[in-house]
Amino acid sequence: MSLQSPGSTIIADSPAQKIGAVNGFRGLAIMMVILFHLLVPFTSSAPAFPGELDPNGFLAIVAKHGFLGVNIFFVLSGFVLYLPYRTKKRTIDRLADFTHFYWHRAVRLLPLYYTVVLVTVALHAKSPAGSHAWYLELGGLLSTLFIFVPHGFMPPSNPVLWSVGVEIWFSLLFPLLILLIARIGLGWLLLSSVVICSAFVVAGHLIAVDRIGMFRPFVGGIFGSCYQFIFGMLACDLYVKSRDSVSARRFQSRGLLPGLLLMIAAIYLKDNGPWAVSILYATIFCAGFSMLLLAVLCGAWSANRLFEAWPVQVVGCMCYSIYAWHSAIMVEMIPPDTSSLKDTLRLSLPYLTIVIALSALSYRYIEFGHQRDWRALFLLRNTKSNEVPGNQGFIGDHADSKASASS
């Protein structure tokens, strides 16, 4: 989920202007996703254990919409990836720029991705090792082509990897989008992407697929989700513009409540709206979250202090590792098909402890094994007048390892 500063803060042109709130939002997003997966057996339309959790209760309502954390990740990834290009710290003008970007992204995303793929296919494959289906899944995961296949879109060995696949394919498209922005502008790119992606989402819902019901590559894949990253790019553009204008910052900060209301409206429409509206709820949600993100970054109600809290930021820094490992560990410790609500709640603390511990090791040695200063990775280093924790290359998302304006 970006997922991008050996540690976690995005730096603006001035060292005093850190965007730790972005990592805080990532921390919130990964907590939403884990809550969703923990309680989905009790909150789905056909719960495995009916009656154990009040479907109209606050916990159930929050948990069943936790999947929206992935949409938040996509918006944040677009923001972080675009930041160094919007501030002219990087450009894509020649072939060497493409090569540098792709290499940088591959180094950032693929080591952990392939580690998780090999571990989960070896330990959690649903098909016998060495069988035709086993090799198909392994090949689809290694090539990331699985997100274009309806029955393989959510890999049986580790279903959550679909969003990492989407992230990888957006990375492949990103340099082309930068060139398009130079030609037609970011506003037209966003509008075009919303229209095109919405058409794919509608088509995906209309195409019937055995045992699934919809054509997932159109609904949740890069075809239907690309615009979500571009919403983040637009939020980045407006944020950079607001840094030099007090009036612009004041105006953008007023978007906190409207953005929050849009997000709530999107959730309501998904659950209660007519079919044609409900399937496009993600567009409204991402627009609302982009407004909320921009308002927080511009200082609305000092909400950035909440997201810049050290524990939330550190969780946000590790969100890629947490996301990649949490499902495989959950299947071992709290099997969704057989765990009652009582067992789920009883095992939640040890489960989270193991997930955080493994993710910390993964974050340190797989994601950033090249980084010598581990204290910076975990935001434990004291800041100096011209130094911000984490200003060596990460920013917390499954994205660019140095997507900061100062990199």
pLDDT digits (tens, 9 = 90+) for 208-220: 999 889 999 999 9
- Is residue 235 situated within a structural domain? yes
260-to-74, 204, 280 alpha-carbon distances in Å: 18, 28, 17
pLDDT at 18 over 90: no
Q: What are phi and psi of 303, to 5 degrees?
A: -65, -20
- Is residue 4 situated within a structural domain? no
For 284, other C-beta atoms within 10 Å of its C-beta total 20
pLDDT at res. 56: 85
Helices (H), 125-185: 132-143, 161-184
127 or 5, which is more confident? 127
- Is residue 382 situated within a structural domain? no
Residue 243 class from Cβ within 10 Å (0-12 exposed, 13-18 middle, 19+ buried)? middle
Please list the residues that pair with 387 across neighbouring strands. 384
The conformation of residue 147, written as its DSSP 8-state character, comes to: G
State how many domains the chain has.
1
- Is residue 342 situated within a structural domain? yes
Q: How remote is the C-alpha of 196 from its chain's centroid?
A: 21
Residue matched to tokens 């055995």: 210
Cα angle, residue 320 at apex, residues 318 and 324 outer, rounded to 5°: 120
**With contact defined as beta carbons under 8 Å apart, do 354 and 360 qualify?**
no
**With contact defined as beta carbons under 8 Å apart, do 31 and 315 qualify?**
yes
What's the start-to-end Cα distance of the chain, in Å?
21
Please state, in angstroms and rounded to a whole number, the distance separating the CA atoms of residues 318 and 83.
20
pLDDT, tens digit, 9 for 90 and up, residues 297-315: 999 888 888 999 999 999 9
pLDDT, tens digit, 9 for 90 and up, residues 51-65: 888 888 999 999 999
**With contact defined as beta carbons under 8 Å apart, do 334 and 38 qualify?**
yes
**Count of residues making up the chain:** 407
pLDDT at res. 241: 94
pLDDT, tens digit, 9 for 90 and up, residues 326-362: 999 999 999 988 999 999 999 999 999 999 999 999 9
174-to-87, 104, 164, 190 alpha-carbon distances in Å: 16, 13, 15, 13
Domain that holds residue 69: 20-377
Three-class SS state of 43: helix
- Is residue 187 situated within a structural domain? yes
CA atoms within 13 A of residue 178's CA, in its CB half-sphere: 24
pLDDT at res. 81: 97
Q: What are phi and psi of 324, to 5 degrees?
A: -65, -35
In percent, how much of the chain has pLDDT > 70? 89
- Is residue 11 situated within a structural domain? no
- Is residue 357 situated within a structural domain? yes
- Is residue 389 situated within a structural domain? no
